[in-house]
Structure 1
Amino acid sequence: MATQKQRLYGFFMVIVGAAFWGLSGTVAQHLFETSDVSVEWLVTVRLLLSGLLVLIIVSAGKNRRAVWGIWKDKKAAVQLIVFGIAGMLGVQYTFLASIGNGNAAVATLLQYLAPVLIMLYLLLTRKNSFQFFDFLGLLLALGGTFLLLTNGNISNLTVSPLSVVWGILSAGALAFYTLYSSSLVKTWGSALVIGWGMLIGGVGMSFIHPPWAVQAEGWTVSGIVSVAFIVIFGTLLGFCMYLESLKYLFPQEASMLGCTEPVAAVASSILWLGVSFGLFQAAGAACILVMIFVLSQKKSAGKTAALKNNIQR
C-alpha cells in the first residue's frame, strides 16, 4: 500500500507527464502544418529514439541485468511484444493520425474518453458494479463528445470524420495501454517496460515506414526543435512519468488525473496555434473534463484495492 508521500509523488508524475503529452500534441500539429513530415515517419522516429534512450539509461543503472533478463521470462516477453505493438504503437499512431486529420485539441479530448472505456470494461467483466457515478460519467462523456464534435450543429462536424475515427481508436488504445501495463510495470519497472515497448513499437512501424524515408529538403530549426521536443518531452519523459505513477496510483486514477493533457492541449492550441473553439465545443470539453473527475470520485477504499488486485492478475 502506497504511503501518502508516495501517492503525492504519483500525482505529480502523472500530472506533469500528461502536460508534456498535451503540449507535444500541439507541437506535432504545428509540425504537420509547417512541414512535409508524415504521421508514419514521426511515429517511427519518436518511438525508436525514445526507446533507445530509455534502455541506455536503464543499462547504466542498478537494473541493467533486467534489460535482457526480461526476455528470459517467456510470459513477460509475450506481454512485452503485445504491449509494444498494441499498446505503445497503438496509442502513438492513432493519436497522431487524429491530429494529422484534425487538430491536437479535439484529438486529445477524444483520447480522454479512455476512462469511460475502462469503466465499461470493468463493468462487463464484473470487476466493478454499476453505480450512479458510472451513469453520470457516461452521460457527460456522450454529451461532451457530441458538443465537441458538432458545436451544437449535428449537420456540421468541427473536424473530419477520419479524425474522429482515429480519436476514438486512440481512446481504446489508451484504455488497453493503461490496464495491460500494470502487471508488467509492477514486476519489471516502468523504465524497462517503456523502453522496450517503444523500441518494439518503433521497429514494428519501421516495416511500414522506415525512419530514413524522409525528405531532407525544407527542414528548419523550428522543425528540428519540434521533433526534439516531441521525442524527449512528449514521448520519453511523458510516458516514463505516466507509467512511473502506476507504482503508487491505481490505473483508473492515473487515467483520470491525466486530464492535465487535454487542458494543456486545448490551451496551447488556442493560445499558440489560434485554433478556434466555439461556445458549444467549450461546453463539450468541460463535460469531458468533469466526467474524468466524476469517475475519479466513485471508488471506496475497499473496492479500489479489489480493482487493483483483479487488474494485476
Structure 2
Amino acid sequence: MNRQKGIVLVLIGAVFWGIGGTVSKKLFQQYAIDVDWLVTTRLLIAGVLLLGVQYFTKDRSQIFRVWKNRRVAIPLVIFGLIGMLGVQYTYMASIEHGNAAVATLLQYLAPVMIIIYLLLRKQSILTRGDMLTVSLALLGCFFLLTNGSLSQLSVPPLAIIWGFLSGVALAFYTLYAIPLLKQFDSLVIVGWAMIIGGIALSLIHPPWQINLSNFTLDTYLYLVFVIIFGTMIAFWFYIESLQSLAPKESSLLGSVEPLAAVLTTVFWLKEPFGIYQWLGTLFIMIMIVILAMNKGKSSDNREAT
C-alpha cells in the first residue's frame, strides 16, 4: 500500500512539475516575467504554504525543532541552497534560454547520474541494463539537441548547460534528502528548503522589485498554478514518495514529467519539434521505462543513502 501511494504521489508531482515548466515558459515569453523573480517568489510563497499545512495538519513542533540540532540544521541549509535552489534555478534558466521540453528531458538524465554515482561509491555494479540505458540517454540527447545535424544545435548552448546542471541538481536533491526525511516530515524539509533557497536568491534579486502594473488576470492565474501546483505540490509529493520508494525509482517514475512538458510545449505553446527530436525523446523515454521496470536491482539505491 505504501509503495502504491509513493507511485501515485511521484506521478502526480511529476505531471505538475512538467506542466508548470511549460506555464513558466509562457510567463517568460508572453508576459516578460524575469526568471530570477519567478524562482524567488515561487520558492518563498510555496515554502510558507507548506509550513502552514504542517502547522495546521501535522506535528507543528517540528517546524522549529528542526533548527535545534546542528546535525539536521546544517544539512537542511545545504539541501535548500544546492538541492532546492539548484533544481529550481537551473531548470527555469534552461527553460528561459530554450524551452520546457528540452529543459525537462535534460533534467531527466538524473537517473543516469545516480547510477554513475552509485558505481563510483561501489554501491552497485555496472550491468548490461546500465550500459543500455546510458547509451539510450546519450543517443536521446544527441538527437534532441542537434535534431540530427552536428552543424547546428537545435537549442541554444546556454539551454543545454543549464539543463545538464539541472539534472545534476536533481540527482543531488533526490539522494541528499533521504537522511533528513528519516527525522522530520517531508512538509518541514521541503518547506524550509524552499524558504532557504528563496531567501538566498532574494539577496541578489529582491522579489519586491517588479512592476505589477502590467500584470493581467491571466498572469496571476498562471503564477498561482506555477507556485501551488508546479512548485508546492510537485516538490512535496516527489519528496514524500521517497518515504516508500528508492531514490532511483522515484526519479525514474518521474518520467511522466518530460512527457507532460513535451506534450504541453508542442500542443499548447505550438513550438516546433523535429522528427529527430521526437526520436531523441523516444530514446530517453525508453531509457527511463527500462530503468523503472528493472525494480529488482533498485534495492542498492536505498543502501546508497
TM-score by length of 2: 0.98
CA distance in 2, matches of 1:288, 1:305: 23
What residue is the counterpart of 2:175 in the other structure? 179
Query: 2:304 pairs with 303, 307, 310, which one?
Result: 310
Answer whether contact 2:124 2:300 (CA < 8 A) is retained.
Answer: no
CA distance in 2, matches of 1:306, 1:105: 31
Answer whether contact 1:37 1:214 (CA < 8 A) is retained.
Answer: no
Query: 2:120 pairs with 113, 119, 124, which one?
Result: 124
CA distance in 2, matches of 1:245, 1:307: 14
CA distance in 2, matches of 1:217, 1:187: 44
Deviation at 1:305, TM superposition (A): 3.6
**Which amino acid in the other structure matches residue 160 of structure 1?**
P
What residue is the counterpart of 2:261 in the other structure? 265
**Which amino acid in the other structure matches residue 307 of structure 1?**
N
The 5-angstrom pairing of residues 183-262 of structure 1 reads: 183-262=179-258
Deviation at 1:36, TM superposition (A): 2.3
State yes or no: 1:70 paired with 2:66.
yes
What residue is the counterpart of 2:164 in the other structure? 168
Answer whether contact 1:36 1:215 (CA < 8 A) is retained.
Answer: no
- Identity score, percent: 46
Query: 2:149 pairs with 134, 140, 153, which one?
Result: 153
CA distance in 1, matches of 2:262, 2:300: 35
State yes or no: 1:86 paired with 2:86.
no
Deviation at 1:56, TM superposition (A): 1.2
Question: RMSD across aligned C-alpha pairs, in angstroms?
Answer: 1.0
Answer whether contact 1:18 1:238 (CA < 8 A) is retained.
Answer: yes
Query: 1:285 pairs with 281, 286, 302, which one?
Result: 281
CA distance in 2, matches of 1:216, 1:296: 44
Deviation at 1:60, TM superposition (A): 1.7
What residue is the counterpart of 1:275 in the other structure? 271
Deviation at 1:185, TM superposition (A): 1.3
What residue is the counterpart of 2:46 in the other structure? 50
- Runs of 4+ in structure 1 deviating by more than 6 angstroms, as ranges, are none
**Which amino acid in the other structure matches residue 17 of structure 2?**
W
CA distance in 1, matches of 2:301, 2:155: 36
CA distance in 1, matches of 2:159, 2:275: 21
Deviation at 1:306, TM superposition (A): 4.1
Deviation at 1:146, TM superposition (A): 0.3
Deviation at 1:299, TM superposition (A): 4.6
Deviation at 1:99, TM superposition (A): 0.3
CA distance in 2, matches of 1:103, 1:307: 31
CA distance in 1, matches of 2:252, 2:209: 37
Query: 2:103 pairs with 89, 101, 107, which one?
Result: 107
Answer whether contact 1:19 1:264 (CA < 8 A) is retained.
Answer: yes
Answer whether contact 1:47 1:198 (CA < 8 A) is retained.
Answer: yes
TM-score by length of 1: 0.95
Deviation at 1:37, TM superposition (A): 1.1
What is the aligned length? 305
Unaligned runs of 5+ in 2: none
CA distance in 2, matches of 1:23, 1:208: 27
3-state SS of the aligned residue for 1:290? helix
